[in-house]
Chain A
Amino acid sequence: MARRTWLAAALLMAAGVAASAQARRVISIIPATTEMLFAMGAGDRLVAVGSYDKFPSEVDRLPRVGALLDPDVERILRLKPDLVILYGTQDELRAQLDRANVPYYSYTHRGLADITQTMRALGERVGIAREANALAARVEADLGAIRARVAGSARPKTLLVFGREPGTLRNVDASGGQGFLHDMLETAGGADVLADIHQQSVTMSTELILARAPEVIIELRYGRSDAEDPRDARAWDALPSVPAVRNKRVYILHGEEFVVPGPRVAGATERLARVLHPELRW
């Protein structure tokens, strides 16, 4: 009798695992994982997304349930998800989902290699491991191809800027020696001038910019209304001794894909490589 009870319990647990492994009602509040699910062909399993999700356009028809700072727990629970993808730092949301017995997948922004690792783990969790593996392999192959293409070229000392006060060089935020932006820059054949600073972002003083003397400056624009203002790039002219300024190698690239570590990361890396290595035929 006892054996039978244990067997029944084991079968029920196995069924539970199988149910969670085949998530059908997924909520992703993270743009990167939302993009991953669509790219794996599991977009139809999403029942809601986060406030900052913009790609692909199909997300526009899905309800929004907040984001990192303001997850709408009530709406999340009302949608009866069988998997919620949340940020690793959302302890409160995790505790609430635990109490409501809703499974979740905890995500953290890290390096470039972690993106495809996340794809595989997420695919496994949602129950589409084969599609996830194929997507991850494709992204890895594309990144590998870029790496191979720039391998023979000199690596220019590059500053990758992702924010500053418009029209001035105040509060210049740049990629430090950690994180996917740094990895993308290195993969694209640039030598990060802040590689020795083990932070994802560094707010640079004017003196630090002058001291690091980058040969190329790439500014990323990805905001809601980051309109191109030709006068804005001229702010760098205040530092004419910086080689990138002197040699007119300050580039402004627009696109959300630069800040969403998802399936478009290889395309974004190639855009970096194209401006870093115009000598190569792309």
Chain B
Amino acid sequence: MPAHVDAALPPPTIRPRLAATIAGFGVLAAACCLLAPLVGSTSISLGRAFDRTIPFADNVDAQVFFVARLPRVVAAALVGSSMALAGAVFQALLRNPLASPDTLGVSAGATLGAMIVIAFHVDASVFGISAVPVAAFAGSAGALAIVYAMSVARRHGTSTTVLLLAGVALSALLGAAVRFIQILADFTDTFRSVRWMMGALDVGSYNQVVASLVPLAVAFTAIFSMTRVLDLISLGSDAAASRGVDVRRAERIGLVGASLATGAAVSLGGPIPFVGIIVPHIVRLVVGADHRLVLPGSALFGASFLILCDLVTRTAFGPVEPPVGTVTAMIGGPFFLWLLFRRAL
């Protein structure tokens, strides 16, 4: 039986709520996408920015809008959306509220990839994309491959316990490797890697944004094909199997999809913390636990959340900007503690 047998068109009862979820979070995301490029550390004239009679090379306002702000907002939307969606999938598959792109070592793998490129001066760049995001993506894929291989090696089907433990152990191991390379690297390279690890969305051009669209499209398609399956799996794999779900196949699709989304997001913006953990929790507080609502809600709210966090870094501390990861952590950390306290977990 196919894994996503129940994931056909939503039954009629969910449709009004799905429409309300998409409309509510969608309006917020659209407002963030439209308004965020209008605000920044400098003031610009929108009329001048869109004035086609002024050559682009001479139009500072147009360059601030189209080169400095717009790609950054688009990057924030894509990264926030991907990380939140991946977090929702990991939490459902592993049945663990703490699960996030960090849990399976995917972020640590990406960090190691980036660190190797920075420390060993792989200065190649293709179509304006440096080797750093490419290596980060490869690192995240490698980490997932190791963790997944371990979880299926000893038994028929995926062991979520082994996945979690292997992920935590691999994160620690890869983290140690990163620190070892940092010690060996030039001082400035270590500084660069630390900066990268705190996350940055100032991509400066559209090349990298466009390059991330292919893996993200594949990941989003895979994840949205299994909304109903995730509901069943989050109740337990036996319960899901008894309802006709091919659990192993579903887990594989979910893990690969979520990891692909994480890899593409981390390669674009660095390992920005907490987005993957707190956004799905906030969405669940609003719409409940049904993944047909949680997934689109997380994707839309993740985009809004990161655009707003980046807006804070762009405007609140000028002219110097803190890394966006510090803002997401400062908001996400206390919120998560509150969530734990409130639920008395």
Contact = CB atoms under 8 A, between A and B. Distances in A.
A167 B129 contact: yes
B59 interface: yes
Contacts of A208: 41, 319, 321
Contacts of B205: 168-169, 238
A229 B123 contact: yes
A134 to B, nearest CB: 31
A163 B129 CA distance: 17
30 contacts: A68-B187, A163-B188, A163-B191, A166-B124, A166-B125, A166-B131, A167-B123, A167-B130, A168-B125, A168-B128, A168-B208, A169-B205, A170-B203, A171-B195, A205-B202, A206-B72, A207-B69, A208-B41, A210-B42, A210-B60, A210-B68, A211-B42, A211-B64, A213-B60, A225-B121, A227-B123, A232-B125, A240-B58, A240-B63, A241-B60
Interface string A65-88: 001111000000000000000000
B40 interface: yes
Interface in A48-97: 52, 67-70
B42 A168 contact: no
A239 interface: yes
A205 B57 contact: no
Secondary structure of the A side of the interface?
A: loop
Contacts of A226: 121, 123
Interface in A150-169: 162-163, 165-169
Nearest to B205: A238
Given A208-B319, A213-B60, A163 B121 contact: no
A76 to B, nearest CB: 17
Contacts of B319: 197, 202, 208, 211
Interface residues of A, number: 42
Given A163-B192, A171-B192, A207 B123 contact: no
A86 B313 CA distance: 36
Contacts of A224: 121, 186
A222 B203 CA distance: 24
A183 B208 CA distance: 36
B143 to A, nearest CB: 22
Interface string A156-194: 000000110111111101000000000000000000000
Contacts of B63: 210, 239-241
Categorize the interface residue count of chain B.
35 or more
A169 B204 contact: yes
Contacts of A168: 125, 128-130, 203-205, 208
A257 B67 CA distance: 34
A241 B188 contact: no
A199 interface: yes
Given A166-B123, A202-B320, A223 B188 contact: yes
Nearest to B202: A205
A163 B204 CA distance: 15
Interface string B94-129: 000000000000000000000000000101110011
Contacts of B195: 171, 173, 203
A229 to B, nearest CB: 6
A169 B195 CA distance: 14
A210 B130 contact: no
Contacts of A3: none
Nearest to B182: A69
Interface string B22-41: 00000000000000000011
A217 B129 CA distance: 22
B41 A211 contact: yes
B200 interface: yes
B183 interface: yes
